[in-house]
C-alpha cells in the first residue's frame, strides 16, 4: 500500500514557473507507475511560461479560476474542470483570480525534464 501526504512532498519551482509537489513518479519510490502525478500551485494573477511536453498531460482544477491556453485556443477553467493537453502542444495557464490556482497534473508517460521545452 502506498499513502502519501501532500504536505510531506517537497515543493519546487518547475521550468514553467509553477510550484510543484510530486506525489507519484515512476523514478521515485518502490512502486512503478507509467504516469506521474503532481500538485501545482500558481499564485494569484500569475501565469506559467509557455511550454510544450513530448507527452500528453491532464490538469484537474482543484481551487481558483484561470484561463488555459493550448496552441491557439483558450478556455476559462474552474474547480472540477479537466483539461487534456495533447503531446507537443504549446500550453500555459494563467491565474485570473485573487487566490492561488491549484490543480493536479498527470503526465503520461511520466514527466521527464528532457521532455519539456520552455517556449517564448
How many C-beta atoms lie closer than 10 Å to residue 14's C-beta?
18
* Residue among 108, 104, 4, 112 at smallest CA distance from 56: 108
Q: Which residues contact 14 (CB under 8 A, 6 or more apart)?
A: 20, 40, 48
**Residue 77's pLDDT is what?**
98
Extract the residue ranges of the chain whose pLDDT is less than 70: 27-29
Q: Which domains are present in the chain?
A: 13-110 (2.60.120.10)
Question: What is the pTM for the complete model shown?
Answer: 0.93
**Residue 51's pLDDT is what?**
98
Please count the CA atoms within 13 angstroms of the CA of 6 that sit on its side-chain side: 10
Query: Which pLDDT tens digit goes with each residue over 63-90?
Result: 999 999 999 999 999 999 999 999 999 9
Cell of 34: 507509467
Amino acid at each position: 500500500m502506498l499513502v502519501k501526504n501532500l504536505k510531506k512532498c517537497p515543493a519546487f519551482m518547475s521550468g514553467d514557473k509553477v510550484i510543484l509537489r510530486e506525489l507519484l513518479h515512476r523514478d521515485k519510490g518502490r512502486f512503478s507507475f507509467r504516469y506521474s502525478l503532481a500538485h501545482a500551485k500558481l499564485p494569484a494573477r500569475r501565469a506559467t511560461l509557455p511550454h510544450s511536453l513530448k507527452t500528453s498531460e491532464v490538469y484537474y482544477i482543484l481551487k481558483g479560476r484561470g484561463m488555459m491556453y493550448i496552441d491557439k485556443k483558450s478556455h476559462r477553467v474552474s474547480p472540477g474542470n479537466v483539461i487534456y493537453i495533447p503531446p507537443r502542444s504549446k500550453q500555459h495557464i494563467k491565474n485570473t483570480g485573487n487566490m492561488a490556482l491549484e490543480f493536479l497534473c498527470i503526465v503520461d508517460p511520466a514527466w521527464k525534464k528532457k521532455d519539456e521545452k520552455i517556449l517564448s
